[in-house]
Structure 1
Amino acid sequence: MTPEILARLAAARAYRDLSDLARQGVGSTSSSRGSSERIQEARRLRVMTNALVDLVVLGEALGGASWDEITQALHRHDVGTVRTEYEDAVSDWQAAPAEAFNGIGDDAESLDTWYRAHREDTDPAVENPASDLLQG
């Protein structure tokens, strides 16, 4: 098990949580909730999306992507700034204690089950996207 896999599973959880919250937003479109509540819910999605981007960047950095590639993908210009922004998190994840990997198989299976339950015809046709990480 590697820190890269741990980061990719964390990103998968973030995708799942973001999807669930977005679906709730659609469901409450015609509710009598106030403007403030709808704005706060949308803002929470933005915060979660930013956290998701950070987890994906972390996974890619741990997987060996270059800082040039990451900077370009983020549509940023200064490689040094991007590296500085993420290098502490990369170091922390590289030093993850063994306990960080406890229960990871169950977590992956739970994500797989969620994915199969929500998969649409246009989604990737994989059965166990999270568990497949553990096989590689």
Structure 2
Amino acid sequence: MTPETLARLAAARAHRDLSDLARQGVGGIGCAAGARERIEAARRLRVTVTGLLDLVVLGGEPWEGIARALCRRDVETVRAEYAEAVPYWQVAPATVLREAAGEARDLDAWYRRHREDIDPPVENPVFDLLVRG
């Protein structure tokens, strides 16, 4: 399994978490939560989005393409921002590799439960990634 595949698996997890957090926000919008609680919930969404973006960046695109996608001009600055994270994905711990198939199946089951008509019509998007990767 490649580091890019592992980063994409982690990105799928972040997508799921972001969706769950957003749905909870909609469900709780009418409750009596104060500004502090609403801000904390919104901050959790932002932290999750930032983590997701980082995972997608680490998914194997050349740095020039990453800089363009981030609307950034200096490729070396972008590369330096992720310099510490890249080695982490280059050497995957054995436990991550063993758990990947089970996690992929769990994410696929979550996707099938929440899929809408406008979503891609695939049954096992994450497990299929592992098979290809």
Name whichever of 96-105 and 110-119 sits farther off.
96-105
Mapping 1:1-136, distance limit 5 Å: 1-59=1-59, 63=60, 65-136=61-132
Unaligned runs of 5+ in 2: none
SS at match of 2:122: coil
* Unaligned segments of structure 1, at least 5 residues: none
Q: List, as ranges, runs of 4+ consecutive aligned residues in structure 1 with deviation greater than 6 Å.
A: none
Q: Deviations over 1:14-57 (max 9, x none)?
A: 00001000000000111011111011101110111001000110
% same residue? 61
Q: Which amino acid aligns with 2:36?
A: S
CA positional deviation for 1:120: 0.6
Q: What amino acid maps onto 1:91 in structure 2? A: P
CA RMSD after TM alignment: 1.0
Deviation per CA, 1:68-98, whole angstroms, max 9, x where unpaired? 1000001111100001111321122112233
* Residue type at the aligned position of 2:55: L
- Paired with 1:88 and 1:29, the residues of 2 have a C-alpha distance of 38
Q: Distance in 1 between matches of 2:36 and 2:95?
A: 41
State the secondary structure of the residue aligned to 2:82.
helix
Q: How many residues align?
A: 132
Q: Which has the higher contact order (CA 8 A, sep 6+)?
A: 2
Write out per-residue CA displacement over residues 99-131 of structure 1, whole angstroms, 9 at most, x where no aligned residue: 321211100000000000000111111100000
TM-score normalised to the size of structure 1? 0.93
